[in-house]
Amino acid sequence: MEKKFTFRTDVGQVRSHNEDNGGIFTNQIGILAVVADGMGGHRAGDVASSMTITLLKEAWEQHPALKTVVEAETWLKEQFTLVNDALFQHASEHEECQGMGTTLVAAICTDDFITIGHIGDSRAYLSNEYGFSVKTDDHSLVHELVRTGQISEEEAEHHPRKNVLLRALGTERDIKIDILTLQADEYQTLMLCSDGLSNKLTTDEMNDVLQGEGTLEQKADSFIKIANERGGEDNISVALIQYLNESKR
């Protein structure tokens, strides 16, 4: 099944440098799409997200034999753990990087399935014949407060501790990763993004961009443009993977 894809990242309107990182990498199995939002200050966030993308890209270039969903899920879990170990070790050996970490959402896209792994508050969304919806749960304090009924979704939007994460890569020796596998199909688009985008557009607005006119690259640029027009206080990253239908091949 043919796929189109694109990745965009932007520093935004306020930050002095971009702590987001990401990319889309291909091999004979399919596509590995990745978005990481680094944190830690003093450029440590840059280090965390950059190391994460480099390690995942190198692992994907080793052409792992992932023929089944179980193999893909196991591989993603192993890679998340290896990256976490590398980040944790680096932070312990470099004083300027102490406390650094990164969110991570990564998706293996084959002709048969899409396997998504994530930790933190970077998200995966899917657009298909059933509509457009988020497929990941934020590992954040505010999301947990909403989930347990302590605050409403409306209150969450402006909560003073909105940026507090409960899980991330590199900050602790042991991590818990969420893994999800979806069926691959024609007429669908997978979107991965950092919270610099998801905090600025509603789900309906994201869907309007995806369903609108223009190429995949133009739609990615539109996401960046809208987030910046609405303040661009954070770095903004988006990866789009579109599965084409038979008539468009």
pLDDT, tens digit, 9 for 90 and up, residues 166-185: 999 999 999 999 999 999 99
Per-residue pLDDT at 160? 78
Find out whether 7 and 220 touch, Cβ atoms under 8 Å: yes
Q: What is the mean predicted confidence (pLDDT) over 45-63?
A: 96
pLDDT value, residue 249: 42
Residue type, 185: D
**Residue range 8-33: mean pLDDT, rounded:** 96
Segment 70-81 shows an average pLDDT of 98
Instruction: Determine contact, residues 80/65, Cβ cutoff 8 Å.
Output: no
Quickly state the pLDDT bin for 246 (edges 50, 70, 90): low
Residues composing the chain: 249
Residue 114, SS3 per DSSP:
strand
248 falls in which pLDDT band (50, 70, 90)?
very low
pLDDT digits (tens, 9 = 90+) for 124-162: 999 999 999 999 999 999 889 988 999 888 888 778 787
pLDDT category, 41, cuts 50, 70, 90? low
pLDDT over 70 (residue 46) = yes
Taking domain 3-248, whether its CATH number is 3.40.250.10 is answered by: no
Share of the chain above pLDDT 70, in %: 97
